[in-house]
Amino acid sequence: MHIEAIAIDDEPKALEVVMMLAEKVPFLTIKATFTDAFKAIPYMQQNKVDLLFLDIKMPDISGFEFLSTLSRKPKVIFTTAYSEYAVNAFEVDAVDYLMKPFSLARFSRACNKVLEALEPETPETGSMFLKTGMEEEKVFWEDILFIVSQGNYMEYHLKDRKLLCRQTIQEAMQQLPPEKFVRLHRSYIVATDKIDKVSRTAVWAGRTEIPVGASYEGAFQLIREKLLKK
């Protein structure tokens, strides 16, 4: 999915920052910018707008007042130098509240929230965001084969690549649906529908053999019986 956005801010330099950061988000395009909020109204009436980056304190009308004039409201990310309006922002269902000056990482996180809000998840197409370095990457559960603990990191083995995420195995399990993933070893989590072969002491996901730990024998037997019944 691609998000089409506009930005409204009475400060041209603030709009330049939003434009610059937006160029680094692959699924986002800023279609227009406005220093005068009233001039944005005709554009919004005639064009598709998925997301609005909106300043709060502006000379002629506040961001909240402007939002109240819209009959069809897009997703909104407020961009402001003032922290005292945060509660008000979420009362009008803003997706996020960016305090100036904001970093690319913070900007990207806000945009990812919008993407997730515009793409309702189902159990079949569920996903989560993994922090990889300074970025957060969306990963679909369906693409995960297995996950292995590497010290202070978890290595996600996907269909087409690997991702290294700083987290514990307990934190990984909390993010995953228990009906789709099982822990079979102190260092391994495996997607149950990606298990191709089982033995008495191991399972295989693709070509990778995953050992079954003694403490996880009960969970393994349940999975084994379920697979053999198919």
Domain 123-229 sits in which CATH superfamily?
LytTr DNA-binding domain (2.40.50.1020)
Domain 3-118, architecture per CATH: 3-Layer(aba) Sandwich (3.40)
Where do the structural domains in the chain lie, given as residue ranges? 3-118, 123-229
pLDDT value at residue 138: 87
C-alpha–C-alpha distance, residues 207 and 168, integer Å = 25
Do the Cβ atoms of 139 and 127 come closer than 8 Å? yes
Which residue in the block uniquely carries the two structure tokens 């407020």? 78
Do the Cβ atoms of 36 and 81 come closer than 8 Å? no
Average pLDDT of the residues in 155-159: 94
Contacting residues for 99 by C-beta, under 8 A, at least 6 apart:
80, 81, 83
Contacting residues for 78 by C-beta, under 8 A, at least 6 apart:
54, 55, 56, 63, 85, 89, 94, 96, 97, 98
Across 68-77, 79-88, 124-133, 143-152, least confident range? 124-133
CA atoms within 13 A on the CB side of 186: 3
Sign of the torsion formed by the C-alpha atoms of 9, 14, 16 and 22: negative
pLDDT in tens, 89-123: 888 889 999 999 999 999 999 999 898 888 765 54
pLDDT value at residue 125: 61
Six token digits for residue 33: 């910018």
Mean pLDDT of the chain: 89
Shared fold status for 3-118 and 123-229: no
Do the Cβ atoms of 61 and 8 come closer than 8 Å? no
pTM above 0.85, yes or no: no
The kind and range of the H/E element at 49 are none
pLDDT in tens, 174-228: 888 888 899 999 999 999 999 988 888 899 998 899 999 988 888 888 777 777 6
Average pLDDT of the residues in 27-50: 94
